[in-house]
Amino acid sequence: MRAQDFPIEFRREIEALLGGEADEFFAAYGRPHCRGLRLNARAGLSGATASPMLALGGGADFGAAHELASGFIGDEVEWQSGAYRIDGDLMPGSSLMHLLGLYYMQEPSAMSAGAALDVKPGMRVLDLCAAPGGKSSQLAAALCGRGLLVSNEPIPSRAQMLASNIERQGFSNVVVTNEYPDRLAARWGETFDAVLVDAPCSGEGMFRRDAEAVRQWSPDAPRMCHERQAGILDSAYELLRPGGAMVYSTCTFNRLENEQSVAEFMRRHPDMIAEDFALAGIGESQGGMLRIWPHRVNGEGHFVCRMRKQGEYTEKPTGKRDKRRRAGKGAPVDAEGVLKRLKSTIDLPDIPGTPVMYGQRLYMLPEGCPELDGVKVARAGLEMCEAGRSHVEPAYALGRALAPDKGAVEVNTADAIRLVRGESIEVDTKDGWALISWQGLPVCFGKAHGGVIKSHFPKGLKPLGILTEEAR
């Protein structure tokens, strides 16, 4: 694309922001857009940890995942551990490794927001505008399986996509909600140690990879987004505890949605103070704000601002949680009883959290989770199983969260592809439920009988394209 291919109003905004650098900015749009991926450190490490659960992110050894995905890996993303740019026309999103959660596809500059929030294990974290899940999976990895992440998306279809991406990567301490921010603020108040607001925006940073985004842009788009962002930020403020950190980010360039949105927010909430930070390969923020430009950094562009809420936080008492929930008509279901039935069905390690029933499905609710009554929930932590009167079926999400051990059934590439397509395979193993793995990665649970394993890979996740051994 050339400078003259962009709307005149957009060109004027860029020229005002960059001055003499504007020509370099537009010249960058003549180069291919930047793609990237983040390795899932919790994948393929069962032999490197004493825990029966897979290691989760945050300083874990990426060696096993790196070796398996090496054919897709280019230059390292400087500001995010275990992240790499993708060279050329490679298609890692069509591989079996991607389907099984070995890595997540994410544009490099978009990783800056999660890096700036600087999440630590044990925190209670909220991703307020989370779909499709790139930044949520980044935050979940940083928690290392300790603490809580609530990932929220108000649009139901996108919330389901978000839940699916979280499950695919095997995170157990993530709750996915489906609410508008103001409803969560009214319900939970000052609950979270850290809040990410990756706000809906006019998407100017997507222009290089999506020509349609250029055609759909209008001069009114930044103003409308700015007004929407104000309400989301105010809700985020209500949800952030005193002393907690907030990161506000967009993938757009204009001042109205970036610096001006931040300035107006801090005027409304004078106890929110900008906090400077630095990201390797990008530089230091100014007044807590950092811009990523596609002509300066090998990425598509982003805006990130880090703030901290002043004051001291006093822990609020939590109400007693009812582990029973009604499954349609009849008496409530005993979650502890269902959990015992599951443990009698498969070899299950102790998983932290509180067992709760949603309909016929048992979930392990993460420790520190706020009360979910009255909140629309797409994923109440880790789904453990579906329980009927005469059966207990281990959930796909549970299989993704477990480390394949000596009891797992390891299969070759051809059989793994058959399983994700929903086909049965012939395997010499004892009858009953078995966790199936490929290259040390959990694939799904299967039901074995008479030397045949029936796949229980979810129908909605079956690949639309043709997975081949070459597309591993």
Task: Please state the φ and ψ torsions of residue 305, each to the nearest 5 degrees.
Answer: -130, 135
SS3 82: coil
The candidate with the shortest Cα–Cα distance to 400, out of 43, 11, 32, is: 43
Rounded CA gap, 447 and 445, in Å?
7
Q: Based on C-alpha coordinates, what's the Rg of the chain?
A: 23
Q: At what angle do helices 220-239 and 261-268 cross, to 10 degrees?
A: 40
Sheet strands (E) in 67-210: 83-85, 103-105, 124-127, 148-152, 174-177, 192-198
Rounded CA gap, 239 and 218, in Å?
32
Bridge-based pairing of strands 302-309 and 272-274 is antiparallel
Rounded CA gap, 51 and 356, in Å?
24
Identity of the amino acid at 419? L
Counting DSSP H helices and E strands in the chain, the numbers are 14, 25
* Greatest extent of the chain over all pairs of C-alpha atoms, in Å: 73
375, 385, 394 from 362: Cα distances, Å: 18, 5, 10
Q: Compute the C-alpha angle 201/204/209, nearest 5°.
A: 120
Rounded CA gap, 35 and 33, in Å?
7
CA atoms within 13 A on the CB side of 286: 3
- Among 144, 251, 305, 444, which one carries the catalytic annotation? 251
- 225 catalytic, yes or no? no
> By the 8 A CB rule, do 353 and 365 touch?
yes
Enter the tokens of residue 377.
């929930």
Active site residues: 251
